[in-house]
Amino acid sequence: MTFKVLGLCGSLRKGSFNAMALRAAQKLAPQGMTIDIADIAGIPLYNDDVRAAGEPAGVTALKAQVRAADAVLLVTPEYNFSIPGVLKNTLDWLSRPPEPPFDGKPVALMGASPGPVGTARVQYHLRQVLVFMNTFTVNKPEVFISHAATKFNAEGELTDETTAKFIGELLASLQALAARVR
């Protein structure tokens, strides 16, 4: 049986270190795990009047992708010590009825940053949001990719063996958490 993970990147930037890290996770996935990457660029700004009038097609499609996944991997930069607006907006849409798809879903977090902290603050804030969304979140290992410019080559491939090891361990922990939750 294939273990299906849906990856969401909190950055829309073409050269995003976080998109690179998410693609690295695809390559580092343990045997039997697949990681598909969802595009959140077309998710409109959350407006409850819009939701009440009828959920936008992009939101409905993304909710279906989350529901179909066994787990979710959130990979995000840190903007102003917190969650990038595009990711928070997406989570706001995904947390709304009917049947919020993150309810009871196993989730893992990681992020890459050019600075020394490596997304620790945003991951803390995401954990607070995910509590409300009623997810099961991997606690360890924590993957904070600091000084990200030194961890990827010009082609966007992960070159740091220690980071690769941590990503592999995170994915194994996500799969183990999902097995416990079932």
Domains of the chain with CATH codes: 3-181 (3.40.50.360)
Tens digits of residue pLDDT in 26-38: 999 999 999 999 9
Per DSSP, 96 falls in state S
Tens digits of residue pLDDT in 78-134: 999 999 999 999 999 999 988 999 999 999 999 999 999 999 999 999 999 999 999
16: left (phi over 0), alpha (psi -120 to 50) or beta: beta
Residue 6 has phi, psi (to 5 degrees) of -105, 125
Residue 49, CB half-sphere, CA atoms under 13 Å: how many? 0
Q: What pLDDT, on a 0 to 100 scale, did the predictor assign at position 1?
A: 82
Please count the other Cβ atoms lying within 10 Å of the Cβ belonging to residue 142. 15
Please give the model's pTM, rounded to 2 decimal places. Answer: 0.97
